[in-house]
Structure 1
Amino acid sequence: MHQHVTITTTTGDHSVAEQIAADLVDRRLVACAQIGGPIRSVYRWEGTVEFTEEIVLHLKTTAEQVDAVKQVIAKLHPYDVPEVIVTPIIDGSAEYLKWIDDQTRPA
């Protein structure tokens, strides 16, 4: 069994979130992309505190796919520095984790 992860990213545009999600699922790089929001993000950018409405994506995949997922996000994401946070899934239902494996292997 593979090591499973959730990758989180945010974007300011719902259509960009859907494009990233669809591309990653279509390429079998992630098994599932959950799109949520809007959320309110507060952060410092270029010396100014910013308040931004964003859309959040939670991407379920395997550790082996992380680098490829990061490349796709970098290519499709409009931000200069897109959020990409990888969190290990330490446990889950065996059936769901197997489903992630099945969905992220080449067709």
Structure 2
Amino acid sequence: MAETTYITVLITAGSEEEAGRIGKTLVEERLIACANIIPKIRSIFSWKGEIWDENEVLMILKSKESLFQQIKERVKTLHSYEVPEIIALPIQLGSEDYLNWIDEVTNDHSVS
């Protein structure tokens, strides 16, 4: 049996309401174990030839690498941005109890 790779997914949203809606949907659909929502971050970026300086909300999601494609596609349908930030980082180490909890509350429909 292959070892599970756990991930942290970072997403920015335009409001706490949008982030909450996305997070709740992903938890309900068992694609993620948890969504932390951090309000009032400042993002400076280039978009369509202009420099933007905006207030955003950062979402930190915990899940499994095997669910990333489903998470990405679902976020694209729920998000208001044309090109939402959806990036994943591997969780290299973690509490066994916490990682087991991620396994318990997420539902991986992929075929091994």
| Fold conserved between structures, TM > 0.5 | yes
TM-score category (smaller protein): over 0.9
Q: What per-residue deviation string (whole Å, max 9, x for no partner) do you get for residues 16-39 of structure 1?
A: 100000000000100000000210
The Cα of 1:90 is off from its aligned counterpart by: 0.4
- The CA distance in 1 between the partners of 2:19 and 2:69, in whole Å, is 19
Which residue, 55, 58, 62 being the options, matches 2:57?
Answer: 55
Q: What secondary structure is seen at the aligned counterpart in 2 of 1:105?
A: coil
The Cα of 1:105 is off from its aligned counterpart by: 2.5
TM-score, L = length of structure 1: 0.95
Tell me, which stretches of 5 or more residues in structure 2 are unaligned?
none
1:56-95 matches, within 5 Å, as 56-95=58-97
Q: Matched residue pairs, number?
A: 106
- The CA distance in 1 between the partners of 2:4 and 2:103, in whole Å, is 7
Aligned to 1:12: 14
Report the AA paired with residue 39 of structure 1: I
TM-score, L = length of structure 2: 0.91
- The CA distance in 2 between the partners of 1:39 and 1:10, in whole Å, is 9
User: Structure 1 runs of 4+ off > 4 angstroms?
Assistant: none
Tell me, which stretches of 5 or more residues in structure 1 are unaligned?
none
Aligned to 1:28: 30
State the identity as a percent: 37
